[in-house]
Amino acid sequence: MTTPTPPPSSLSVTGVSRLYDGLAVVSGVSLDLAPGAITALLGGSGAGKSTLLRLFAGLEPVDAGDVRLGDTVLSRPGYTLPPEKRHIGLIFQDFALFPHLTALQNTAFGLAHLPREDARAIATQWLSRLGLGARSSAYPHELSGGEQQRVAIARALAPKPAAILMDEPFSGLDPSLRGSVRDEALDAVRAAGIPALLVTHDPAEALESADHIAIMKAGRILQQGKASDVYLKPQGADIAAALGPVNRIFGRDIPPGLLGQAVAPDALVVIRPEGVIPDVTAPVRARVVASRLTGPMSRLVLDVGNLQLTSLVPRGLAPEVGSETGIQIDPELSFIFASGDS
């Protein structure tokens, strides 16, 4: 009788901290990576994202808290299970393929414990799944950047890891290839049914690719949850801004009628550009002072009395520079915070 495969376990950190020379680079972070879901860890340079990934992977010890795979403790202060014993796949920006091995040999590298033909069959299956079946005999220097990254992902997934951690894996790719390579790769990661962490500094990538998002700043998690919830229900102005440019306005500067509600003078109002909508029938008037094409969308700069707002609209709906238009605000894309709640 075949022994059933146990269901995947979550990978989690609870209250973890990491200090360098007494300075907390990661401070009291708790984050649970659910099986079958991709969690994006989003933040600027120096936020602590890569350090947190290294704590998950066992590449660095924790100074407080613990790392667990299901109920198994992987790290706690004074104890770190080595990375090679964690059975966690790692993917980095630089691909790190072996130059003297073919795509097939690279993919099979982590399958040395299996009979050669079994390892070859599994590696072939993963390369085919990622659209590289015809490139199995190619060496890394013969592959494009996108192909190299897909080989790296196939190599990480072939041994059936318990979880997978990805540190800016697509940022080095040509922009014209990034979206398609990312979609193919992350579809394969999601289909593996294991916990997955995607470290990124790109808000669009986080929103397009992840099931859950955690916003990190100065070593702490500011907010985490479903991608749609973090986007539509940010708990602070900095969190809203982490997911793309925003308009920041104090309540005292809001033109009457713009929001449809009273706002305290010292309140901070944050409005996403796509929430500033030209509407010729709206009573609040604005003058278009600049327009920049960003692809399918146009970014407008609008003068509203003494206030200047940025608006992002479909290209075909962009009014002419110098023209006047009414504007309205999408209430789902505008947020009001107390003055000290940044």
Domains of the chain: residue spans and CATH = 11-241 (3.40.50.300), 245-337 (2.40.50.140)
pLDDT in tens, 298-315: 999 999 988 999 999 999
pTM: 0.89
Tell me the two tokens of residue 147.
């192909």
pLDDT in tens, 172-199: 788 877 888 888 888 888 989 999 999 9
> For 229-249, what is the mean pLDDT?
95
Report the alpha-carbon distance of residue 236 to residue 223 in Å, rounded.
Answer: 9
Q: For tokens 């697509």, what's the residue?
A: 170
Element (H, E) at 206: helix 203-209
Report the alpha-carbon distance of residue 153 to residue 91 in Å, rounded.
Answer: 7
Say yes or no to pLDDT of 164 above 90.
yes
Residues with Cβ within 8 Å of residue 259, at least 6 apart in sequence: 269, 329, 331, 334
Amino acid residing at 253? D
DSSP states of 193-234: TS-EEEEES-HHHHHHH-SEEEEEETTEEEEEEEHHHHHHS-
Cβ atoms of 52 and 31 closer than 8 Å = yes
Beta bridge partners of 303: 287, 308
Min mean pLDDT across 90-94, 118-122, 263-267, 296-300 is at: 90-94
Closest C-alpha among 285, 342, 296 to residue 318: 296
Phi, then psi, of 258 in degrees rounded to 5: -70, -45
Report the alpha-carbon distance of residue 236 to residue 341 in Å, rounded.
Answer: 6
Report the alpha-carbon distance of residue 192 to residue 158 in Å, rounded.
Answer: 10
> For 30-37, what is the mean pLDDT?
96
Report the alpha-carbon distance of residue 338 to residue 251 in Å, rounded.
Answer: 10
Residue 282 has what pLDDT? Answer: 93
Say yes or no to pLDDT of 81 above 90.
yes
Percent of the chain at pLDDT > 70 equals 97
Residue 311 has what pLDDT? Answer: 97
Percent of the chain at pLDDT > 90 equals 79
